[in-house]
Amino acid sequence: MFLIVKLLLLLWLFATRPPVHSVTLELTHLDNDSSSTKLSYFVSSTMSIFDVKDDQEVDMVTFDGFKVWNCTDGAEKLQSAKVIYNEFGARFVLLTTKQKYSKLELYCYLNTLNGWVLLNSVNPFNISLLETDTKSDDTKDTVGNNDSTVVPGTSGTSTTSDTNTSDSTSSDDVGEVRVDLANVPEPPLCRRCSYVVDGILYSIHYFHSGNNYNKLFYEGKMFYQVPKGKQLAGSCTYMRNSQPIFIDLLLSKPEKSNFVYFERTESGFAKISREEFKEKLQKYKTVPTTVDLSKSYSKTYTTNNSTRFNRTRGEGISKVDCMLYTPNDGYVIRKVVDGELSVVESENDILEVRYYNLGGQKLLSMIFQEGPNFQYKYYTYFGDLGKWSPSSEYFYYKLIDEYVKSEGKYSIDLKNTLSSKYLLVQKDSFLHQLNFLPNSSSLVNAVYDHGRLIWTARKPNETCIFVWYQFQYNLLYLVSKIDGEHANYYYQKNGHSWTYIAHEEFRRRFSFIFSTNDVLDLKNNLVGFDVKENGNAFTVQPKHFHLIGKVTYGTSVVWSSSSSLKCYSAKIIYDTNATNVYLYLKDYEGNSYTKLYKTLDNDLTKLELSYSETGNLEEVGTLPTSETKVEKSENADEKLDKNKESDTVTVIPKGVDPEEVFDTVENVVDTAKVDTVVDTVDKVDTSDKVDTPKVDKVDSAVDTADTAEKLNTDTPVTEDSVKTSDEKVVEKQESNSNADQNKYQEVVVTALNTFNNVYNPETSDKPEETARHLGVDPEESLVETDTTHKEAVEKEKSDKKADVEEKELVKEVDEYLGGMLDIQKMKSTKFGDFVDARNHGLNYLLFTPRPGYPVRYLRDGFETIWKSHSKECVALSVFLKDGAPFMLELFVKCSVEVSRHFFQLKHNRWQPIRSHEYDILTNSL
């Protein structure tokens, strides 16, 4: 009876169970009877989810009529489907299936130009994909094999599937008992995917559930045999630098599975435990980390104190301490910071960071790994910029070597304005200048500006004894001492870099800053100025070391100078209808400007600016009459001194102690004609040489500068001429019979000679001309004597000769002012050397500026090719094609680094090109 009831109950259950219907799931139809649908929205994507109903059995999944998936095994059932959309449309399809006596499986399909391609996915959303050439069927109702594999990788360059184990694959291959994990079979026997995490490549294989693989090989060598009763479900090969390091196997049996781990050894793969596998795998991982130079401890990298040994000739071995940062196991350095300052961030591994803190100078060297290659990079911290910047290898080791040589020595930094036990600092806020005076016992071998090197000693025994810094115009004058002799250096700051300048350029800039500003009154007679008349035009020139600071007509101000623009001359042209006043101006860099003022209604009290332009105007509005000198009236009413702003020059008496002399300089305030600064320096030189028969050499920078920066013999003012003239003066003074008077003459002549050579642009650097300008004959006694008519004639001839030489020098310097070079006028340019290489069979024109005359502005006629305020062109070559300029190569210097810039003439315009393009063009021609 009980059995009959049980049978009836089973029949009732089967009768009440709903029938199962096989359907096709169309993913573009949100409303269908076979599934329940819902939508999920994300930041940049949307997901539609299809949950298949229990009474529905899906045998095919399509998208817009194209097949995505079909059931190949009757035991496999689709449970859900998910479609992911982004801004480009449908991108991914995720299918979840379940087989009898098996766990859930996930299929991921990618939408490509070849149709929906199967991707057996592990976190597919963070993987860049490279698709195979397998194409899907174009017909909607045709069922084909789309189980093509795609190997993703994070590097952006992935590889396709491996070579097939056989030329053709069929279901009969399921009985294969051997498999080589280095060359796995194609689907449907195996599905694969690859991805990279922490620098390790994971190559995963999922094997068909009906396989009988029992012997596992790798590259033809057997390493494991599957136990009976278990089945190979999957494997993963761990690779680093294209070499396998681990393999794990997933073995399954009904309702249970386990992993087996192997490690690559010299003899093959050896079995290890799970704990060993996790511990060893961590050592191969490379988790990105950041090195902070301001911290000495981190869990991700190791900090060690290291020492660099420097061996110098004659000085033995010196040590420089540094900090060495290396990553710990499982980490790689990708970024370096210094507190809140970012130094470098790289996609490549940084194997080592070496950090030097040399007092005010910080240096870094790093080793980057770019594939199988290694590259060294160097960085320097600049305090004035407040950031780290890349530097050259030469500059990096140069700073370290200078630090080694300076052990036990001192340096001067312009940012430190406080006096110390070895340095006296004097500041004059009115004149915007600083004086740095080291103690006589201090050895100063370097001068910095906020940690950036300006000057360093050229010889081991060279030391700096004085620095004068004009911080408004960033002009610097430095005096060093070498074996009892002195050398002068001049520097100008352009942007963030300091540049060595010639003595003549320093004099021009110094004159611009401290010249006396005179007032030009157009109403009164032009007393105090050099005036030349040419018909109805009058040219007005101020005296030497004087500039026109203001132009007025009575009490009406026409023009006033500024700190960056001053007037060097003026021209007044009288006409019947109007009066024109031309003002010729120059700025601190030597650039010329012209301003024209015209009268309104011929009323001189109403002068207004007509126009302004760069460059001097040509001589206009003059009559062809002879040039005559305007007589200067001696009448007090006609003198311009009442309306002129002028200052007097205070000459400090010669002292023996340099510190007393500089104390005197502090008390002398001359608003315009400040000659005492460099004069004091020369007095320091003279006081050091009272007991020697030689006169101080003002321009000895030629002897001590670097070989690459030495002034050649073409420089207008040379050391030899000064030295010869000084020795002649000393010899003539020693010939005097009176010893006391001779000693007095030597001191006075030396002081006057040094003063006028540095400050008086009217005379040259020769002592004879300096003494002549002061009214002293160096061959006779300093006591006033009656001059004969013959001496007066000789003096007049000497004056004319000096004027001619000075005009030639000024003409050459004025031609250079601004550092502008026109490549069409290279041959006639006087401040450089021109070479026509066509004479030697080469299609080049070469131009090299002379030391002290760098090119900062390069033009081709009216077209600007290159211009810089902080860099200078030290050489250039013009490549010719058919006799005309075609390409340019510039050698540009910034601080101590020299780089190459290339330009090509395209469509009648000069355009910059890269170095390899320049090489290709030159080789092709």
- CA-CA distance, 126 to 364, in Å (whole number)? 35
pTM of the predicted structure, to 2 decimals: 0.30
Give residue 530's pLDDT.
85
Supply the angle between the helices 503-514 and 739-759 in degrees, to the nearest 10. Answer: 80
- Spatial separation of the C-alpha atoms in residues 748 and 782, rounded to whole Å: 9
Q: Is residue 614 part of a domain?
A: yes
Band of pLDDT at residue 652, cut at 50, 70 and 90: very low
Strand (E) or helix (H) holding 448: strand 444-449
305 with 182, same domain: the answer is no
Closest Cα partner for 507 from 467, 563, 545, 562? 545
| pLDDT the model gives residue 160 | 34
pLDDT for 722 equals 37
Mean pLDDT of the chain: 71
Tens digits of per-residue pLDDT, 605-643? 677 776 666 654 443 333 333 333 344 333 434 433 433
| pLDDT tens, position by position, 306-352 | 665 544 433 444 557 788 888 887 788 889 998 888 899 888 888 88
Q: What is the pLDDT of residues 244-269, one digit of tens each?
A: 999 999 998 877 888 999 999 988 99
8-17, 220-229, 493-502 — which is least confidently predicted?
Answer: 8-17
Q: Which two tokens stand for residue 689?
A: 């040489």
Distances in Å between the Cα of 732 and the Cα atoms of 172, 645, 729 are 118, 42, 5
99 and 128 co-located in one domain: no
The residue among 686 and 837 whose pLDDT is bigger is 837
- Examine residue 14 and state whether it is found in any structural domain, yes or no: no
Taking Cα atoms as reference points, which of 64, 32, 27, 65 lies closest to residue 49? 27
Q: Looking at the domain assignment, is residue 291 inside a domain? A: no
The beta-carbon contacts of 393-401 under 8 Å, at least 24 apart in sequence, are 394/896, 394/897, 395/895, 395/896, 395/897, 396/363, 396/365, 398/896, 399/358, 399/361, 399/363, 399/453, 400/308, 400/310, 400/320, 400/356, 400/358, 400/363, 401/310, 401/312
Q: Which of 629, 661, 685 is the last residue of a domain?
A: 629
> How far is Cα of residue 186 from the mean position of the Cα atoms in its chain?
53
| Whether residue 126 sits in one domain with residue 184 | yes
Is residue 802 in some structural domain?
A: no
Residues 502 and 415 in one domain: yes
Instruction: Compute and round to an integer the Cα radius of gyration of the chain.
Output: 44
Residue that finishes a domain, picked among 285, 319, 348: 285
Domains identified in the chain, total number: 6
The reply to whether 157 and 236 lie within a common domain is yes
* Mean pLDDT for the stretch of residues 896-908: 85
CA distance 875 to 855: 8
Q: How far apart are CA 588 and CA 590, in angstroms?
A: 5
Query: Each residue of 194-211: pLDDT tens digit?
Result: 877 777 888 888 888 778
Is residue 676 very low, low, confident or very high in pLDDT (cuts 50, 70, 90)?
Answer: very low
On whether residue 794 sits in a domain, the answer given is no
Q: What is the DSSP letter of 633?
A: P
Please give the C-alpha separations between residue 762 and each of 502, 545, 721, 787, 806, in angstroms, as whole numbers. 18, 8, 18, 23, 8
pLDDT tens, position by position, 499-511? 999 998 998 888 8
Distance CA 862, CA 791 (A): 52
Same-domain pairing of 475 and 558: no
Contact partners, residue 250, CB within 8 Å, separation at least 6: 232, 233, 234, 235, 257, 258, 259
Asked if residue 770 and residue 687 are part of one domain, the reply reads yes
Of 285, 316, 344, the position where a domain reaches its end is 285
In a domain, 550, yes or no: yes
Q: What is the predicted pLDDT for the residue at 750?
A: 54
Of the chain, the percentage scoring pLDDT greater than 90 comes to: 10
Is residue 924 over pLDDT 90?
no
Q: What amino acid is encoded at 248 in this protein?
A: D
CA angle 873, 876, 880 (to 5 degrees): 150
What does the DSSP 8-state code read for residue 542? P
Query: Which pLDDT does position 797 carry in this prediction?
Result: 63
> Are both 392 and 329 inside the same structural domain?
yes
125-155 pLDDT per residue, tens: 333 333 333 333 333 333 333 333 333 333 3
The full length of the chain comes to 925
In a domain, 813, yes or no: no
Q: Which domain holds residue 269?
A: 122-133+147-162+174-285
Please check whether residues 438 and 374 belong to one and the same domain.
Answer: no
What integer pLDDT is reported at residue 815 of this predicted model? 54
270 shares its domain with 127: yes
Both 113 and 127 in a single domain? no
pLDDT of residue 707: 38
The token pair at 711 is 């002034």
Looking at the structure, tell me whether residues 591 and 563 fall in a common domain: yes
- Does 295 reside within a domain? no
